[in-house]
Chains A and B, each alone.
Chain A
Amino acid sequence: MPIPRLIRLDDYTPALGEPEVAELRTLASRLQMRTVQMVNSTAVGGGVAEMLNRIIPILQELGLAIRWEVITGGNDFYEITKAFHNALHGGPYSMPTGSFDTFLAYNEQNLRRLQMEAEFVVIHDPQPVALIRGRQEHSGHWIWRCHIDLSQPNLTVWGFLEPWVDQYDGAIFSSPEFARHLPIPQYLFYPSIDPLSEKNRELEPGVVKDILEGFSIDPARPILTQISRFDRLKDPLGVVKAFQIVKRYFDCQLVLAGGGASDDPEGEAVLAEVREAVGNDPDVHILNLPPWSNTEINALQRGSTIVIQKSLREGFGLTVTEALWKSKPVVASAVGGIPLQVIHKHTGLLAHSVEGAAYQIRFLLSNPAIAAKLGQQGHSYVREHFLITSSAKRYLTLFLHLSGAS
């Protein structure tokens, strides 16, 4: 099925239903030509840019006068913001003295370049956070959208950023676990997937079969799949152990597919450990995929009998969202954003150990009707909460709330 060149709101109707698309238009009818600026630090690459690339055309089509601004900076700025990013995830921070001043100088430079005069300003992540210093008194509504996990930040970096964040009218987090105690209102916006993207669009069964066979995977036997970078936090060795338990009871295959092993020394080491643990088992398929393998990932998920996400730590876990959207039964660890998506025994099964994951997989393989029902309910849950259109609806609701419509 070819991807439409220009995706229109109506293209989402088959997935959402006409009333839901009409509701987006109703909400937007009160925001016609109201100005919005979304600001982040990159136009391409990374999840935030990918999301903005999808959501901004939707909000434009709905009648909002929305602009996307990308801040600029030298290498020194991006080195500092990368160090901030790692530190906010709990890592150490060891940048030279003066880095904070450099960060603020670049924000100041961008402030002079950009005209921040929209009614609603949404600043994404820490890089442009200090743009708020240019806010005129009582002008516009400023919101900070944090896409990263701030549950255990390096306190030096957070101590520098927090006074800026506190000046906003509100902050948005992807999970309550990622949030901080702040003196401003904090809203919950789930990350989302685009059902029309290459990774999530419908595929013809023949395409799925061809891709599976291309990887020497037998479509006729049960397939257990984990899609993840080769990273210890994704516990690929735990997945292999769980598979080895399951295999005592069921003739099945395991697919471990992901990237990150070619440009990451730790990824290479993890991949080597996984290969060693697997030995010469022909039923385990380890696929180190390049970053442009969206169709392949789509097909692997669609061709799977069960999708596993046995992470030890996780962000929101969009690979789980993708699997649920494809109506797949999911067995996943109760970490990060996964319990927000996998409601135990309703939209999937949660596990807390290798043995637990193995047991849940065996249960689903023994009970295909239950597996199918979980998959179906998971699909419904994603349709209502984790699609790009749900994100658009949340922004519309936020803007209506901020402008006093609630």
Chain B
Amino acid sequence: MKRAEQPFQFKTASYLTRIGKETATTLAQLKQGLETCSDTSIFNHTFQTLSHHHFLTQGFSNDFAQWVLAACNRPELAEQLASLDIRDYLSLAELRTDLKRLVSEYCEQNPQHAEQSAFEPFFFYEAIAVEVPLGIETWTLEEFRNSLERLSHASFHFHFIASRLRLQLRTNDFSYWLENSLDLGTLARRVNRIDIYTNTLEGALKRIVSLVEGEFNS
């Protein structure tokens, strides 16, 4: 079994939630909040919320879409916001631009809804990350597989979902290491294709374990 030149070093990230300055009670205010809120706020309501709500595999994509649906009762805009896939973004600035564009276009096309009061306000939060190494490093595919089963949700989310912002690549830490350190490009691509919106974090983790075990058998 091939031994990697560089080990995979597992980490975890724990997040503090800081209450932001922006609040929205209408779609027009949401648009304004999207312009002025911090990047950590965009991260919190899109990337991080997938960790918060990972056990929901139907109809939950990000906090903005959920609020537009449940508090503003605007399903058409909610669907558009929900269809944004965070895997398509390598920076929070790009993601913010698309979020703003969708809300802005909707408000322009539906001015009668832009100022309607929501059932409940949307509070912008910021996610403050504290990263801590787990002290687990793996050099082979077998060690990697065994370590996966010891990962918390937060650690898995850190490596599989939040990682692309760090890597600035359309991949994740696991796939990057599998491809670049173990020359397992096909396995890396299969891992990267796992749908994070229709799987729970546990489900996605099990899927990776199964793909790695498939590699042993092939």
Contact = CB atoms under 8 A, between A and B. Distances in A.
A397 to B, nearest CB: 4
B93 interface: no
B102 interface: no
B52 A385 contact: yes
Interface residues of A, number: 40
Contacts of A406: 16, 128-131
Interface in A361-406: 377, 380-381, 384-385, 393-394, 396-398, 400-401, 405-406
A67 interface: no
Secondary structure of the A side of the interface? helix
Given A334-B120, A344-B70, A19 B132 contact: no
A179 B17 CA distance: 13
Contacts, number: 92
B86 to A, nearest CB: 19
A396 B154 CA distance: 15
A277 B23 CA distance: 40
Nearest to B151: A19
B167 interface: no
A345 interface: yes
Given A20-B152, A343-B66, A377-B55, A397 B120 contact: no
Contacts of A385: 52
Contact of A187 (B14, B16, B53, B151): B16
Contact of A393 (B14, B59, B60, B151): B14
A385 B16 CA distance: 12
Contacts of A393: 14
B177 to A, nearest CB: 20
B43 interface: no
A186 interface: yes
B12 interface: yes
Interface in A219-264: none
Contact of A346 (B59, B134, B154): B59
18 contacts: A17-B152, A18-B150, A19-B150, A19-B155, A26-B12, A26-B132, A26-B134, A27-B12, A176-B19, A177-B123, A187-B17, A187-B19, A344-B70, A381-B53, A384-B52, A400-B130, A400-B132, A406-B129
Given A346-B56, A380-B55, 14 more contacts: A19-B151, A22-B150, A27-B130, A176-B23, A177-B121, A187-B17, A187-B19, A188-B18, A339-B120, A343-B56, A346-B59, A384-B55, A398-B16, A406-B16
